Amino acid sequence: MIPQVPVPMAGLPHEVTIYEVGPRDGLQNESVVVDVTVKAQFIRRLIEAGLTTVELTSFVPARWVPQLADAEELLGILGPLAGRHPVLVPNERGLERALAAGAREIAIFASATESFAQRNLNRSLAASLEAFVPVARRAREAGVAVRGYISMCFGDPWEGAVPIAQVTAVAEGLAAMGCHEISLGDTIGVATPGQVVELLASLERAGLARGDLAVHFHDTYGQALANTLVALQEGVSTVDSSAGGLGGCPFARSATGNLATEDLVWQLHGLGVVTGVDLGALARTSLWMADQLGRASVSRTLNALAPSLARE
């Protein structure tokens, strides 16, 4: 691998938590159903590469996301894991399944827009938030941490630009439920850095601390790394990304892949930011998964490193 010479920049956190979404948000968007043993190997390899936070799967009905219909079987194969390993749940039934399978952290998925709430959750925005109140309460009563996602924070394919006040109101609702972390999703990848700064400022005025926020950028217009860097300069220190750039959104067809974890790690290591991730091990894992899927990765860093890794 080509060695990097870290050159720090002022205003960045010393350490960043990478919240890996590949096994859930990545694989749910694949046209093929990946065998559960391959999923388990993928997750173990990601953890061995140094990723301490890996979202494992989703306890949604199989008719919604057939690619993740094996959630219980997957958690049974994996057994107890060191680190933080949330699972997505859409409702109380999903929570019951997740708790029975041994999940210790869940994530709930809200929308910042009416259109996406209807398409993704079959409810209005207000009704979807209301439905998550008992889910979050029951999870916390069981000693299970709750993360909140907000999708369509910057743009919606049906509604266009999304008002910042609308996103802020949804974030306040999730915080009131007891979500310990709220991830701001640029689901269709239209955000630019100024919009990121503006949204974070609005959330801060509403009382949401930067340390309780995460960012989740898609790279549709090539802005994911730029938006991430600005978010870090603004005090955010948790970034969602996906190994090999896997993923999109099955309910928003204009959404392309997530920010690739390799691209994120390359940038952070070049800035002297600590991640705990072995980039070589991560790259080998993503190349292996791309081979399992029968297609090339979209990660530029991964593709740049692939020839040197092949010679090792």
Identify the CATH homologous superfamily for domain 17-311: Aldolase class I (3.20.20.70)
pLDDT at position 256, please? 62
The b-or-e profile of 32-61 (16+ CB within 10 A means b, else e) is eebebeebbbbbebbbebbbbbbbbbbbbe
- Name which residue leads in pLDDT, 250 or 213: 213
Q: Is the pLDDT of residue 9 over 80?
A: yes
Q: Is the pLDDT of residue 250 over 70?
A: no
Q: Is the pLDDT of residue 22 over 50?
A: yes
pLDDT tens figures, 156-184: 999 999 999 999 999 999 999 999 999 99
Tell me the average pLDDT across 264-285.
Answer: 98
Q: Is the pLDDT of residue 30 over 90?
A: no
Helices (H) and strands (E) in the chain, counts: 11, 10
Cβ-contact 308, 1 below 8 angstroms: yes
Q: pTM here?
A: 0.95
Residue 248 banded pLDDT, cuts 50, 70, 90:
low
Residue with tokens 């979404």: 21
Distances in Å between the Cα of 2 and the Cα atoms of 115, 162, 308 are 46, 41, 8
> What does the block give as tokens for 155?
């743009």
Q: Taking the domains of the chain in order of start, what are their residue ranges?
A: 17-311
Known catalytic residues are 249
pLDDT at position 108, please? 97
